[in-house]
Structure 1
Amino acid sequence: MTKLFSYSVLAAASALAAMGAQAQEFPASGRPITIVVPFTAGGPTDRVARDLALALAKPLGGASIIIDNTAGAGSSIGTAKVARAAPDGYTLLLNHIGMATMPGLYRKLPFDVEKDFSYLGIVNDVPMTLIGKPNLPANNYKELTSYIAANKATINLANAGIGSASHLCGLLFQSAIKTELTGVPYKGAAPAIADLMGNQVDLLCDQTTNTTQQIEGKKVKAYAVTTAKRLTTPGLKDLPTMQEVGVAGFEVTIWHGLYAPKGTPPAIVKRLNDALKVALKDPVFVKNEEALGAVVASDKRVEPAEHQKFVAAEIAKWTPIIKAAGVYAD
C-alpha cells in the first residue's frame, strides 16, 4: 500500500511538472497562433480580433498571431473549424454573441457550444442603439411607443440579416413591447443604415460601432441605448437606457469571447487566459476599442469558468426568444 501511494504521488508530481513545462514552452518559438474569425475581413469582429492579436502577442513572448477569416452560415463554419482543431492552443476562436444564438437559430450544429470548447474569457461588450428614420414623427421613446401602437401594421424594422446583432436586438425589442413588426433583412448593416437614413425603412437596432456617427450627425433619430447604464460617449450620453424608458430587463450588448478547442491542456488554458488579462489592459487596445464604441471587459467574465457560465445564461436567454419568433437558419 505504501509503495502504491508513493507511485501515485510520484505520478501526480510528474503530471504537474509536465503541465508546468508545457505552459512554459507555449507558444513554441517560431510556431504561430491562429485566431479564427468566423466573419469576413473588415467587419467589427475582425477589427477586434486584429487589435487583440497585437495586444496578446506581447504577453505571449512576442508570438506571431495570424487572423484566419473563415466566414459563412452565421459564424458556424469558422466555429466548427476551431471545434475540430487540435487542442494544443495554436488554434483559437474569436466570436461574438453568435455563440449564444446559434443553438437556437440552427436546427443542427456540427458542434456543441457548451461542450466542445475551452473558454478563455470575454473580451469586450459593444452597446446597441434603437434608431429611426429622419422623418419618423416620434421624437423620443414615449412618442415612439405611441406611434407604434397606432401604426403597427405598417411599421417595419430593418436588420442586417438573420442571426445578425441587429436582428437579435429587434427580436428582443418586439418581445419586450409585445408587438410584431414587419422585418426587413439586409445583407449587412451598411445597406440597412443607408436605407434608414434615406427614409426607406422605419426602425433599426444596431451596434454603436455602426450608428454613433449617424446619431452625432443627426442623420437618424435616436431613442435609447440597450445598456444597463447610460453611455459616456459624447454624442450618446444624453440617450436614455431602455430600462429608463420603462422596458424592464432590456439589456443587449454584443460581446466577444475567446475560445480554444475542447481538451486544450489546463496549463495552456491558464497561459492564454493570463495573457488575455494582460492584453485587456493594454492602453493601445483599450483606446482602439473605445474608438469602436466598445467597452473592454474587466469583470469576472474574463475568467474561463465565469465566461462559460455567462454564455450558458445567454443561450438560455436567447433560445426561447428565437424559437418564439419562429426564426431558423438551416
Structure 2
Amino acid sequence: MKITLMRAAACLALFGSAFAQAQTYPTKTITMIVPFAAGGPTDTVARLVAQSMGNKLKQQIIIENVGGAGGTIGAARVAKAAPDGYTLFMHHIGHATAPSLYRKLPYNAQTDFEPIGLVTDVPMTIVARKDFPARDFKEFLAYIKANKDKVTYANAGVGSASHLCGMLFMTAIGTDLTTVPYKGTGPAMNDLLGGQVDFMCDQTTNTTSQIKSGKIKAYGVTTKTRLPNMPDLPTLNEAGLPGFEVAVWHGLYAPKGTPKQVVDTLSSALQTALKDPNVKQRFADLGTEPVAESRARPEALRAHVKAEIERWSPIISKAGVYAD
C-alpha cells in the first residue's frame, strides 16, 4: 500500500509539473526545424510565420535548417525531440509523400507528430533559364520533347515539391527527362540562374522575384486560375496541358506527446500570425496566401495529412519511384 501511494504521489507530481509548464509556456526560445536548405520556399514561409508567432508568444522562434533525404532527416529529429513545445517542425506536402517514397522511415508521419495547423497552399511554376530558346509553353513543350536526351530538369531532391511536380509533369507529357537532384531548392535555383540546368517546377515563394526581375523565364502556373501578382502568366491548363494542377501545402507540427494546452497555444499563435497584415502582404508578394483560420488548427492538419497520404500513395506506386 505504501509503495502504491508513493507511486501515485510521484505520478501526481509529474502531472502537476507538466501542467504547470503548460500553464506558463513558453518561457524560452523556441526552435522551428525546416528540413531543407536555407533560402528555399519552405524556409521563406517558416521565417515569415516564425517572426509573427514569436511576437504573439513573446518569445523568439529561431529557424534551424536540417536538410537532406527529402526532408526526412529533419522530420526524424523532431520525432525524437522532447515533447515540450520548444521544438517545432515546418514541412510541406513531402511529409505526406515520404511514407510512399521511402521504403523505411525512422518515424511515422501520422502518429509521431502533433499537428498544429496548416499554413498556406503555394502554387508552382514551370520556369527555365533566362536564355532558354522557347518563347511560350507550346514552344517549350515541343523543344523539351525534341531534345529530351539533352534537356536537364532540376529538383530539390527525392520527396521535395519540385521532385513531385516534375514527376507529375513528365508523366503528363509522356516524356522522361534527365533529372538533376540537389540538396534543397536554394542550390537548385542558383544553378538555374547560372544556366547550369535548363528548367524546374518550383513554388512561387521561390520563383516570383526571379521571374519579375527577368532572371528566369516562366511558362505557366500549376493552379486552376492565374495568379493576381502575375496575371500574364497562363495556367498550364490554358497553355496546353489540360487538367494539370498541383499546389504545395505547408503544415506546422510538434513532437508526439506535446501537451494539448501547448499545442493549442501554438495553434492560436499560428492563427494570429496568418492574420498579420505583414505576413499576408509578404505571402501575396510571393504568389500565395494564408489558409483560412479553420484550417490553421490541429484537427484540420491531421485530416489533411491522412487524405494526402491516401492520395499520393497510388500515384507514387504507379510511377515506381522509391528512395532508400
User: Aligned in 2, Cα 1:50/1:199: closer, same or farther, shift over 3 Å?
Assistant: closer
Match of 1:144 in 2: 140
Is 1:182 aligned to residue 178 of structure 2? yes
Match of 1:228 in 2: 224
Distance in structure 2 (CA, Å) of the matches to 1:40 and 1:191: 8
The count of residues paired between Structure 1 and Structure 2 equals 310
Match of 1:328 in 2: 322
Distance in structure 1 (CA, Å) of the matches to 2:292 and 2:205: 20
- Does structure 1 conserve the Cα–Cα contact (< 8 Å) formed by 2:32 and 2:88? yes
Q: Where do residues 231-246 of structure 1 align in structure 2 (5 Å cutoff)? A: 231-233=227-229, 236-246=230-240
Distance in structure 2 (CA, Å) of the matches to 1:228 and 1:23: 48
1:282 to 258, 273, 276: 276
- Does structure 2 conserve the Cα–Cα contact (< 8 Å) formed by 1:23 and 1:267? no
Match of 1:252 in 2: 246
Distance in structure 1 (CA, Å) of the matches to 2:313 and 2:148: 25
Match of 1:132 in 2: 128
TM-score by length of 2: 0.82
In the TM superposition, residue 285 of structure 1 has moved relative to its aligned partner by 2.2
2:159 to 145, 157, 163: 163
In the TM superposition, residue 120 of structure 1 has moved relative to its aligned partner by 1.0
Match of 2:262 in 1: 268
User: Aligned in 2, Cα 1:25/1:112: closer, same or farther, shift over 3 Å?
Assistant: closer
Q: Given residue 117 of structure 2, which amino acid in structure 1 is its aligned partner?
A: G
- Does structure 2 conserve the Cα–Cα contact (< 8 Å) formed by 1:133 and 1:197? yes
Q: Where do residues 1-330 of structure 1 align in structure 2 (5 Å cutoff)? A: 22=19, 25-28=22-25, 30-60=27-57, 62-190=58-186, 192-193=188-189, 195-196=191-192, 200-233=196-229, 236-298=230-292, 300-330=294-324
- Does structure 1 conserve the Cα–Cα contact (< 8 Å) formed by 2:69 and 2:158? no
Match of 1:9 in 2: none
In the TM superposition, residue 180 of structure 1 has moved relative to its aligned partner by 1.6
Q: Given residue 74 of structure 1, which amino acid in structure 2 is its aligned partner?
A: G
User: Aligned in 2, Cα 1:115/1:190: closer, same or farther, shift over 3 Å?
Assistant: closer
SS in 1 for 2:56: coil
Distance in structure 2 (CA, Å) of the matches to 1:261 and 1:313: 20
Distance in structure 2 (CA, Å) of the matches to 1:147 and 1:71: 33
- Does structure 1 conserve the Cα–Cα contact (< 8 Å) formed by 2:34 and 2:74? yes
User: Aligned in 2, Cα 1:83/1:147: closer, same or farther, shift over 3 Å?
Assistant: same
Cα deviation, 1:165-193, whole Å, max 9, x if unaligned, reads 22221111011222222223345445544
Identity of aligned residues (%): 54
Cα deviation, 1:270-315, whole Å, max 9, x if unaligned, reads 2221221111111222233334444222264322222122222322
In the TM superposition, residue 134 of structure 1 has moved relative to its aligned partner by 4.2
Match of 1:5 in 2: none
SS in 1 for 2:239: coil
TM-score by length of 1: 0.80
Taking only aligned residues, the RMSD between alpha carbons, in angstroms, comes to: 3.0
Cα deviation, 1:192-235, whole Å, max 9, x if unaligned, reads 445545655433212223322332244433211012221111xx
- Does structure 2 conserve the Cα–Cα contact (< 8 Å) formed by 1:97 and 1:256? yes
Distance in structure 2 (CA, Å) of the matches to 1:56 and 1:238: 34
Distance in structure 1 (CA, Å) of the matches to 2:25 and 2:281: 30
Q: Given residue 51 of structure 1, which amino acid in structure 2 is its aligned partner?
A: L
Distance in structure 1 (CA, Å) of the matches to 2:82 and 2:187: 39
Distance in structure 2 (CA, Å) of the matches to 1:81 and 1:48: 20
Name structure 2 gaps, 5 residues minimum: 1-14
Q: Given residue 44 of structure 2, which amino acid in structure 1 is its aligned partner?
A: R
Cα deviation, 1:125-170, whole Å, max 9, x if unaligned, reads 3321112344544322233333444444443323233333222211
